[in-house]
């Protein structure tokens, strides 16, 4: 039985009856780590006919449910990493998956950080317009996660506003993509297996956000998630806005309108081919928007370790290369990537290259969201690394 492969977590985590969220695949409950006293969120396997707990399912259906839950847990563990200090800021850190005791039964569970905040769906329901720069920043963070997933051959398959949470933070907030519970590896199964049902026979997709190929039971890849992202981005841009099409067009930059249209193309070949392209396009748009705010101001870049001009130019290129490597290894919004981008721009400025105030300002805001510290006061680790290379 697949359940025998699950580690037992009963002694460590204590579940409560406080429900934090619910979907077709599972229910999220508040819980406590008995070792640390820390509050956590635990997602438990759910069946619509019988409620929480896989133990009440028929044996064949139970094994299928447990296998899918185990696969979803492994995917989320892989994406979040094994070090909570270096977790991708736009993913919820997953501590473990296994079995916990709830209401007298052993139930499969996924243990995650507790991240309070509204979902994008909650914000959309208010009908309140969201500032353009905030939407673009949220979009960049989501695209960063989709790139991280796509680089590991993972398709989310259920990206929608209710699966993105906004955590209170400066500059419009940090967003985290949730619920990879029905995610699949692109190359792990044949095309016919890329679309499947939930444990109780229901479709895992949400119609409005499902890509055309997903609705037509066709093979999926990461571009399916980009379609879902495009629908969601369009919703965020237009919420609370009423008017003619020409008024809509005046409200948003042309590059942004074209990107949203491209993301929602019927044919996957007509969409951006990976999420990094989307992230980079949104970053250019965000920088252009920021330029209107910082117009006429110089880039306030903090002093780094001393280095000759020629060496500074070389170091700028070296740190740029490291940023590219870390983007591929982690994501564009990972703290390690952002630190290399800081160093790249610092040494570029010392070498006499023009560094735009808007570019530095956007990077500053990205870093503050990711780690809660301004690049104006870089970490000791970052400066030690730069000093070592400068020497």
Condensed to tens digits (0 to 9), the pLDDT of residues 162-204 reads 999 998 755 468 999 988 766 677 764 443 344 444 444 444 5
In angstroms, the CA 261 to CA 158 distance is: 20
Task: Out of 3.30.300.10, 3.30.200.20, 3.40.640.10, 3.40.190.10, select the CATH number for domain 9-113.
Answer: 3.30.200.20
Strand partners for 52: 46
Residue 110 dihedral angles phi and psi, to the nearest 5°: -120, 120
How much is the pLDDT for 147?
A: 95
Of the candidates 145, 154, 151, 227, which has an alpha carbon nearest to the alpha carbon of residue 178? 145
> pLDDT (tens digit, 9 = 90+) per residue, 232-289?
999 999 886 665 666 667 778 999 999 999 999 999 999 999 999 999 999 999 999 9
How much is the pLDDT for 261?
A: 95
Region 121-130: mean pLDDT is 90
Q: How confident is the model at residue 5 (pLDDT cuts 50, 70, 90)?
A: low
How much is the pLDDT for 178?
A: 86
Q: Is residue 43 part of an annotated ligand binding site?
A: yes
> Taking the domains of the chain in order of start, what are their residue ranges?
9-113, 120-293, 309-390
How much is the pLDDT for 166?
A: 93
- Which of residues 303 and 161 earns the better pLDDT score? 161
Highest mean pLDDT among 60-69, 164-173, 381-390: 164-173
Is it the case that residue 307 has pLDDT exceeding 70?
Answer: no
Straight-line distance from the first to the last Cα atom of the chain, in angstroms, rounded to the nearest whole number: 59
Q: Is residue 342 within 8 Å of residue 157, measured between CB atoms?
A: no
Q: How confident is the model at residue 143 (pLDDT cuts 50, 70, 90)?
A: very high
Residue 302 neighbours by CB distance under 10 Å? 14
In angstroms, the CA 116 to CA 272 distance is: 32
Is it the case that residue 101 has pLDDT exceeding 90?
Answer: no
In angstroms, the CA 157 to CA 180 distance is: 8
In angstroms, the CA 124 to CA 127 distance is: 6
Residue 30 dihedral angles phi and psi, to the nearest 5°: -75, 140
How much is the pLDDT for 139?
A: 97
Q: How confident is the model at residue 309 (pLDDT cuts 50, 70, 90)?
A: confident
In angstroms, the CA 359 to CA 284 distance is: 9
Q: What is the CATH number of domain 120-293?
A: 1.10.510.10
The alpha carbon of residue 301 and the mean position of all alpha carbons in its chain are separated, in whole angstroms, by 28
Share of the chain above pLDDT 90, in %: 39
Residue 176 dihedral angles phi and psi, to the nearest 5°: -130, 130
Q: How confident is the model at residue 108 (pLDDT cuts 50, 70, 90)?
A: confident
How much is the pLDDT for 336?
A: 93
3-state secondary structure 66-113: HHHHHHHHHHHHHHHCCCHHHCCCCECCEEEEEEEEECCEEEEEEEEE
Is it the case that residue 332 has pLDDT exceeding 50?
Answer: yes
Q: Is residue 91 within 8 Å of residue 176, measured between CB atoms?
A: yes
How much is the pLDDT for 135?
A: 94
């Amino acid at each position: 039985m697949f359940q025998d492969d699950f580690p037992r977590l009963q002694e460590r985590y204590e579940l409560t009856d406080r429900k934090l969220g619910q979907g077709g695949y599972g229910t999220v409950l508040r819980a406590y780590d008995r070792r640390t006293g820390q509050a956590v969120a635990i997602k438990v396997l759910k069946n619509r006919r019988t409620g929480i707990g896989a133990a009440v399912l028929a044996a064949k259906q139970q094994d299928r449910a447990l296998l899918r839950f185990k696969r979803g847990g492994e995917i989320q563990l892989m994406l979040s990493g094994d070090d909570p200090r270096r977790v991708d800021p736009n993913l919820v850190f997953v501590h473990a998956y296994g079995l916990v005791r709830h209401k007298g039964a052993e139930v499969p569970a996924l243990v995650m950080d507790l991240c309070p905040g509204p979902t994008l769906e909650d914000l959309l329901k208010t009908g309140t317009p969201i500032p353009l720069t905030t939407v673009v920043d949220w979009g960049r963070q989501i695209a960063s996660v989709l790139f991280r997933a796509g680089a590991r051959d993972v398709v989310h398959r259920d990206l929608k506003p209710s699966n993105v949470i906004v955590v209170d933070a400066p500059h419009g907030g940090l967003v985290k993509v949730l619920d990879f519970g029905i995610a699949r590896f692109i190359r792990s199964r044949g095309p016919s297996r890329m679309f499947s049902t939930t444990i109780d026979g229901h479709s895992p997709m949400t119609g409005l956000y499902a890509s055309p190929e997903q609705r037509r039971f066709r093979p999926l890849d990461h571009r399916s998630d980009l379609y879902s992202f495009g629908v969601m981005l369009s919703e965020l841009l237009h919420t609370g806005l009423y008017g003619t099409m020409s008024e809509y067009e005046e409200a948003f930059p042309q590059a942004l309108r074209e990107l949203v249209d491209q993301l929602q193309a019927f044919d996957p070949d007509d969409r951006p081919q990976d999420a990094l392209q989307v992230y980079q396009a949104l970053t250019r748009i965000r920088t252009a928007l920021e330029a209107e705010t910082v117009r006429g101001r110089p880039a306030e870049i903090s002093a780094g370790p001393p280095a000759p001009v020629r060496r500074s130019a070389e170091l700028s290129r070296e740190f740029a290369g490291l940023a590219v490597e870390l983007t591929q290894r982690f994501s564009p919004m990972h703290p390690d990537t952002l630190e290399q981008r800081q160093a790249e721009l610092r040494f570029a400025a010392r070498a006499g290259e023009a560094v735009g105030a808007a570019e530095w300002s956007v990077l500053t805001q990205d870093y503050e969201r990711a780690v809660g510290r301004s690049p104006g006061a870089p970490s000791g680790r970052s400066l030690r690394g730069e000093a070592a290379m400068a020497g």
